[in-house]
């Protein structure tokens, strides 16, 4: 049982579920999804493949950052950092799960989705992870693998990358900046001690960082409305109208939390942005699903 807990911690279960949720939702939002028989079978296959690839990326992250994780209170008890799991075991697990996840996506869906998943894993584990100690540009770089699950889900359903997939990618791409900067604000002391450079200002939590969260939250508003202008979603029906209202409310909620951070400049406000962002993304995706044409 303790070993199972270690593996669940190694894959960062809650984070992985959130990432794969966006991939599954993108898959369900494709026009082609309506033509699938045994829809739950395909959803579960995509979920399994996505969880394996995401878990592999998170495992590599913990193996590579084991010494850094050991320096921070928040991560010191992770299995590799604490010594409960060897580096070799972590690598073996990551390689096995990553390969199996890519195979599932390629064999059951298509190799475009599988290739995007493999590329996302590579970007996250081998580019973003080491870059965090070099420059805050890491957040920008990390936003690409962070948003690729939307394209993976879309490619799984459509076998191509069309406008709808890119819109979902853009939503998740922009969402990550206020989300991640709020986390970095809260954990700034720990991150700085470990040598991570994750806030846009070298001076740490500043007005500049807070302004950036406001800017990106404002950019999310027009991007989340694009599906209604291109015919991907509708607002003429009751579910569609409810979905549109939810999107407007979710954006107002996110913008106000980021503005509050700018005004108060404190950890409690950053924590509200962080928890608000966790709520924001699933609400947006579910609202788009309600409004799907």
What is the domain range of residue 31?
1-160
Which range among 42-51, 82-91, 169-178 shows the weakest confidence by mean pLDDT? 82-91
Nearest alpha-carbon partner for 113 in 40, 61, 46: 46
What is the chain's alpha carbon radius of gyration, rounded to the nearest angstrom? 19
Task: Please check whether residues 105 and 185 belong to one and the same domain.
Answer: no
Burial per residue of 209-221, b for 16 or more beta-carbon CB atoms within 10 angstroms, e otherwise: bbebbbebbebbb
Nearest alpha-carbon partner for 257 in 222, 210, 220, 221: 210
Domain end call among 160, 175, 208: 160
In this structure, what DSSP letter does residue 35 have? G
**Tokens standing for residue 78:** 């992770």
Q: Higher confidence at residue 131 or residue 251?
A: 251
Task: Dump pLDDT digits (tens) for 255-276.
Answer: 999 999 999 999 999 999 999 9
**Cα torsion angle, 199, 204, 208, 209, sign:** positive
Task: Please check whether residues 139 and 203 belong to one and the same domain.
Answer: no
Task: Please check whether residues 109 and 170 belong to one and the same domain.
Answer: no
**pLDDT recorded at residue 260:** 97
Task: Dump pLDDT digits (tens) for 209-237.
Answer: 999 999 999 999 999 999 999 999 999 99
- What domain count does the chain have? 2
**Tokens standing for residue 255:** 């913008």
Task: Please check whether residues 17 and 100 belong to one and the same domain.
Answer: yes
Task: Please check whether residues 19 and 154 belong to one and the same domain.
Answer: yes
Considering the entire predicted model, what is its pTM? Answer: 0.94
Residues 186/199, Cβ–Cβ less than 8 Å:
no
Give the DSSP H or E segment for 70: none
Nearest alpha-carbon partner for 276 in 187, 210, 183, 205: 183
> What is the domain-level CATH number for residue 227?
1.20.120
């Amino acid at each position: 049982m303790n070993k199972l807990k270690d593996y669940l911690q190694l894959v960062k279960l809650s984070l992985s579920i959130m990432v794969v949720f966006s991939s599954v939702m993108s898959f369900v939002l494709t026009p082609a999804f309506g033509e699938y028989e045994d829809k739950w079978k395909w959803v579960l296959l995509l979920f399994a493949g996505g969880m394996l690839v995401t878990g592999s990326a998170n495992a590599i992250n913990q193996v590579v950052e084991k010494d850094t994780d050991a320096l921070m209170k928040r991560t010191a008890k992770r299995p590799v950092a604490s010594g409960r799991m060897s580096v070799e075991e972590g690598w073996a697990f990551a390689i096995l799960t990553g390969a199996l996840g890519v195979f599932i996506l390629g064999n059951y869906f298509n190799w475009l989705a599988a290739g995007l998943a493999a590329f996302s894993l590579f970007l996250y584990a081998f580019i973003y992870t080491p870059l965090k100690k070099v420059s805050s540009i890491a957040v920008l770089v990390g936003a690409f693998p962070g948003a690729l699950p939307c394209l993976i889900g879309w490619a799984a359903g459509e076998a191509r990358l069309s406008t709808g997939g890119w819109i979902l990618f853009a939503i998740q791409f922009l969402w990550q900046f206020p989300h991640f900067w709020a986390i970095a604000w809260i954990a700034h002391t720990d991150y700085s001690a470990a040598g991570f450079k994750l806030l846009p200002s070298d001076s740490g939590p500043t007005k500049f960082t807070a302004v950036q969260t406001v800017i990106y939250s404002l950019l999310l508003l027009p991007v989340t409305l694009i599906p209604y202008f291109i015919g991907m979603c509708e607002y003429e029906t009751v579910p569609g109208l409810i979905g549109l209202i939810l999107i407007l409310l979710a954006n107002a909620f996110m913008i106000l939390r980021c503005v509050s951070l700018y005004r108060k400049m404190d950890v409690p406000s950053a924590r509200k942005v962080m928890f608000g962002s966790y709520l924001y993304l699933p609400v947006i995706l579910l609202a788009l699903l309600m409004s799907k044409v």
